[in-house]
Amino acid sequence: MATVPRRRKAPAAIRAVAAAVAPAAPLAPAKPARKRCLPVSETMSRLMANGKLCVTDEQTAFIPYLTAGDPDLSTAAEALRLLDACGADVIELGVPCSDPYADGPASTARALAGGVTLDGVLAMLKEVTPELSCPVVLFSYFKPIMERGMADFAAAAEEAGVHGLLVPDLPSVATSALRSEAMKNNLELVLLTTPATPEERMREITEASDGFVYLVSVNGVTGPRANVNTRVESLIQEVKQVTDKPVAVGFGISTPEHVKQIAEWGADGVIIGSAMVRQLGEAASPKEGLRRLEKYARSMKNALP
């Protein structure tokens, strides 16, 4: 009976070549790299440079403020996208705090009542910031930063796509330490000066502030006012005499006339807070709030030179 010849194994070299040319399993699509827009300081500097090159266009920065989570985080995310589309140059986003001495209690109370937390705010930002063309500055009181720890807070903010920090109640003795942690995480620490700030302290603030110098137009809690404090004009010039950093004015700004006035006085940026927050927080529904916010934001943006 004839025997069937045994099949010989291909040499190892041939097997290796066959394996090399075999079709590879499809790779999972790579995650898109996080998009980081320009830092706050570079954004402001470009606007200032454009203003110097064009006499008829001073390029004053439009800086709206919102409270994260008022009325809820999903609406806040849509509001960030909307403000970016409306031409915001920088957006300030406030972290709700139980003792908001500078920005008024109403919007924070609504956000806290809805269960908004710092972790929730950062998670929302991580999803939204890659879509934005303008930098976000996180407005937080000092207590949440100390509870989390300066290093962890700064690292978490950077991971969420934040570009700057603003801490209205930051003790002067803690400024250097927080600024150091911020710089390690590519964050710019924006500092505030007020009408009551002594001249020597104002010089220290302007020297240490990154991104821009925040000039508070009035002492006390922010909120809409009939007129802008006329002393702001001289305060802007006083700050500009000691620094070439951009100067943005905030607190009490609520009408297109206010915006025009402050821009004419030489401010490099105008910050609109409480009046912006009211468009969302006092609306009958989130959808109506977003409509109100868009209409209001465009009117303020269009009032700038």
Is the pLDDT higher at 255 or at 252?
Answer: 255
Q: What is the pLDDT of residue 109?
A: 85
Task: Indicate the domain borders of the chain.
Answer: 61-222+229-299
Q: How high is the pLDDT of residue 252? A: 86
Give the pLDDT band (50/70/90) at residue 7: very low
pLDDT of residue 234: 94
- The catalytically annotated residue of 103, 158, 181, 188 is 103
Q: Is 186 left (phi over 0), alpha (psi -120 to 50) or beta?
A: left
In the structure, what pLDDT confidence band is assigned to residue 226 with cuts at 50, 70 and 90? Answer: low
Give the confidence band of 58 by pLDDT, cuts at 50, 70, 90. Answer: low
Residue 269 in 3-state DSSP?
strand
187-202 per-position pLDDT tens digit: 999 999 999 999 999 9
Phi, psi of 193 (to 5 degrees): -130, 150
Q: 70, 84, 89, 92: which one is catalytic? A: 92
d(CA 231, CA 158) in angstroms, rounded, equals: 36
Measured CA to CA, the distance from residue 96 to residue 202 in angstroms comes to 27
34 pLDDT above the threshold of 90: no
> Of 17 and 69, which is predicted with more confidence?
69
CA 86, CA 299: separation in Å to the nearest integer? 10
Mean pLDDT of 87-102: 87
Query: Which uninterrupted H or E stretch holds 18?
Result: helix 12-21
Is cis: bond before 39, omega within 30 of 0? no
What's the pLDDT band for 184 if we cut at 50, 70, 90?
Answer: very high
Is residue 302's pLDDT more than 60? yes
pLDDT at 219: 63
Q: Is 147 marked active-site?
A: no
Q: What is the mean pLDDT of the chain?
A: 85
pLDDT for residue 25: 37
CA distance 109 to 107: 5
pLDDT given at position 101: 62
Domain covering 61-222+229-299: architecture:
Alpha-Beta Barrel (3.20)
pLDDT reported for residue 47: 87
- The pLDDT value recorded for residue 145 is 96
The proportion of the chain whose per-residue pLDDT surpasses 90, expressed as a percent, equals 70
pLDDT tens digits, 201-212: 999 999 999 999
Three-state secondary-structure class, residue 83: helix
pLDDT of 170 higher than 70: yes
Task: Note the pLDDT of residue 36.
Answer: 59
Q: Is 92 a catalytic residue?
A: yes
pLDDT over threshold 50, residue 118: yes
How large is the C-alpha radius of gyration of the chain? 25
Q: Mean pLDDT over residues 239-244, rounded?
A: 94
Q: Give pLDDT, residue 59.
A: 85
**15-51 residues labelled b (16+ CB within 10 A) or e (exposed):** eeeeeeeeeeeeeeeeeeeeeebbbbbebbbebbeeb
